Structure formats: structure tokens, C-alpha cells
Amino acid sequence: MHAPISPAVLADLRRPRPYPAVSILLPTHRREPDNAQDAVRLRNLLEEAKDAVHNDPEVSRADRIDVIGQLDQALGEVDLVHAEDGLAIFAAPGEHQVWTLARTVPARVLLAQTFLTRNLVAAHVANQPYWVLALSADVATMWSGSKGRAPEQVTGSFPIRRVQEDFDPEREERIGDTPSIFNDESTRQFLREVTEKAGVVLAADPQPLYVVAESEALAALDDAGKLVKESAGRIVQGGLAEGPAEALRKALAEAAGQRAAEEVGEVLAELDQARSRKAFAGGVDEVWQSVAEARVALVAIEDGYRATVRDDGDHLVPAATGDRGARDDIVDEIAEQALDTGARVRFVPDGELADVGHVAAVLRY
């Protein structure tokens, strides 16, 4: 299973592949008895995908053998014991990937030249991703977090460890005690490095940042740069610079929940203002048309909203799954297309948009 999605990962997923790029989507279940048939459904979809690859005259014998082998390897990596709400398997010549999603998806097999990414994009946004910087006097770590998941530690430029200086007993004898660990020059240099490298992470993938540290460490980091001032929240708790992840999740729960509630309020206020100035769209058909015309600045979607529609040539109209031309994940299509045109996409609790068709948008013009 892959780590949380990022702009770089998404860009790589969306690049063209040698045909066939196979996408398999499966709705999964977290608990019994709903999860009892997930393994059977998965094998059925894999067989459907293999048959499609095998019977496609555009696929060479070498690529057919390769992709079918990639699908078999992907099956071996699926962990249905710890399933979430959806599963995505991608396979192409020379590669395969397995993604678990905290958002349901329609069952689907697709052969194309790119992977089907819209469900991953929508799940990523709905999960309210954020960064965590956990700090002590000696080490700083970065973590990638999201709603309902324990944070995962970021590697690469982190962790950052302060270079330890030799203890100076003569200085202690002259002064009478040891200096504050957050006032010496080596620590200030360490905190400047933390600020710089955290800024690089945030620039590459802008998400809310939470800083977790003792009060003295927070104050020292505040002096080193803008991270603390511009953070979404600060949690005064020490001993978490190296986790564990579950302890960090518990420490962040209140601050992240408060931040999410504030953001919902801000989104609803924007929608109200848009209505008053007639820059508002409501319902899946209106919002989809506005998104397609790149007129949308903000799209708000209820967490649990799903719709199956078909295009009658002028509008999207309700349809049943399996109908000719039915689009089962139009809501996720809207989310991905909106992001592609530079709009913001926000998910709100179910019921907040019931009076406008469960999805709404603020228009640019």
C-alpha cells in the first residue's frame, strides 16, 4: 500500500503510460459482515481485467504477459484485513501500484493510456491532509497526517538532528548552572535549519501545519522564523519528536477537529456571500457545467454525497448504475476537474448542503 498522495505522486500517476494502463477500482469494507465478500469481488475484477488485456488486439504478447504478471503481484500486496472504504490497483508494463482509500469508489475496470486518478484525488481532499512538525531540543521530524489516520513520518530532508556539543564543566563552574538548551547558538542554528527545510516541504505541498513541542521549544522556533506564527495550530506537548504515530494522532485530535470545524464555517459563509451576489451554482448539473467552463473558484461537497448520472446532451440527468453512459463517480470527476482549473475543493458534513443539492460552488464570474 502506498503512502498518502502528494502533488508529485499525483503528477506521476497521471502521466501517460504505454498501453494498456489498467485501473481497477473496488469498494471495500472495514468491518464484518460487509467485508466478507471483498476478496471474492476483488478476484472477479482482476479476472475481468486480465480477460480485457488478453483479448485486446492492441496489446502485444510481451505486454500482455507483463501486465497480467503485474496484476498478480498487486493482488499479493493487497491487505483486505486492514481495508478502508475503497481500493485502487494500477498496472502497466513494468509497474503496478496498490492504493487504499478512505472514500468509497465504484467497481470498475478500465484500460487506457493513463490511470484513473479522480477517485484518489477526491479521497485525498476529503481526508483533510495536514503536516505535523514535532520538535525537541535535539531532533525535528515531519509527519503527513489526515482525518482518521495516524500520521506517517516523512523521510528525506527529515529527521533533522542537532549536532551535540561537548559538555563544558568549566563553564558550569563559572556560571553556576548549565545554559538553557534553547538559547545556545548551535540550537538556534538547528532551529533555522528546521524552519528552512519545513518551508521547502510546505512549498511543495501546501497543507495546514501543526507544530508539536514543549512551550520553550515553540518559543525558540517562533524566534527562528514564521512557521509557528503561520501554523494552523500549536500543541504544547513534549516527548513526541520521534512519535509514536498514534500518540501524535491523539495529541492533534482536538486542534485538527477545531480547525476542520472552522474551515466548514468559512466555506458555508463563502457560499452565502456568493448567493447574495449571484455568483453561486447548486446541484450536480449546475456545478459540473460551471466546472467544465472553468468558472469555479470553490466547490463544496457533502462528505457522503454520491450520484449516478448520464449526459443527455444538454444536462446531466439521474441514471442507474449499469445504464448506458452512466457515470457512477461524477462527484469525484467534479472534484478533480475543479482542482485542474485552479479551484479549491472542500468537503463538508452531510446535510450542510441539503437545500442546494448536496454540492455547490462559488463562481469567479
pTM: 0.84
What single letter denotes the amino acid at residue 329? D
What are the cell numbers at 159?
A: 529527521
What is the structure's pLDDT at 165? 61
Average pLDDT value over all residues in the chain: 91
Percent share of the chain, pLDDT over 90: 81
Beta bridge partners of 359: 301
- Least confident range from 27-36, 170-179, 201-210: namely 170-179
Distance, in Å, from the CA atom of 298 to the CA atom of 339, rounded to the nearest integer, reads 9
CA-atom Rg of the chain in angstroms:
24
Query: Is 3's pLDDT higher than 70?
Result: no
User: What letters, b where the CB count within 10 A reaches 16 and e where it falls short, cover 297-328?
Assistant: bbbbbbeebebbbbeeeeebeebeeeeeebbb
CA distances (Å), origin 252, targets 9, 139, 232, 258, 259: 25, 19, 11, 10, 11
Query: Is 280's pLDDT higher than 70?
Result: yes
What is the structure's pLDDT at 221? 94
What is the structure's pLDDT at 332? 96
Distance, in Å, from the CA atom of 234 to the CA atom of 8, rounded to the nearest integer, reads 27
Q: Report the pLDDT averaged over residues 237-265.
A: 93
Query: Is 50's pLDDT higher than 50?
Result: yes
pLDDT, tens digit, 9 for 90 and up, residues 74-95:
999 999 998 999 999 999 999 9
Q: Which residue has the cell 462559488?
A: 362
Percent share of the chain, pLDDT over 70: 93
What are the cell numbers at 225?
A: 522564523
What single letter denotes the amino acid at residue 119? N
Is residue 343 a contact partner of residue 297, using CB atoms and an 8 Å limit? yes
User: Could you tell me which of 287, 305, 304 has the C-alpha nearest to residue 343?
Assistant: 287
User: What letters, b where the CB count within 10 A reaches 16 and e where it falls short, cover 16-32?
Assistant: ebebbbbbbbbbbbeee
- Least confident range from 69-78, 127-136, 158-167, 184-193: namely 158-167
Distance, in Å, from the CA atom of 330 to the CA atom of 340, rounded to the nearest integer, reads 15
What is the structure's pLDDT at 321? 86
Is residue 25 a contact partner of residue 87, using CB atoms and an 8 Å limit? yes
Kindly report whether the peptide bond that precedes residue 318 is cis, defined as omega within 30 degrees of 0.
no
Q: Report the pLDDT averaged over residues 153-179.
A: 67
Q: Report the pLDDT averaged over residues 125-148.
A: 93
What is the structure's pLDDT at 2? 54
Confidence of residue 313 (pLDDT cuts 50, 70, 90): confident
Q: Is 146 exposed, middle or buried (0-12, 13-18, 19+ CB in 10 A)?
A: buried
What are the cell numbers at 129?
A: 491532509
Confidence of residue 168 (pLDDT cuts 50, 70, 90): low
What is the structure's pLDDT at 174? 47
Kindly report whether the peptide bond that precedes residue 27 is cis, defined as omega within 30 degrees of 0.
no
Beta bridge partners of 327: 309
Query: Is 182's pLDDT higher than 80?
Result: no
Distance, in Å, from the CA atom of 19 to the CA atom of 324, rounded to the nearest integer, reads 25
Higher pLDDT: 232 or 181? It is: 232
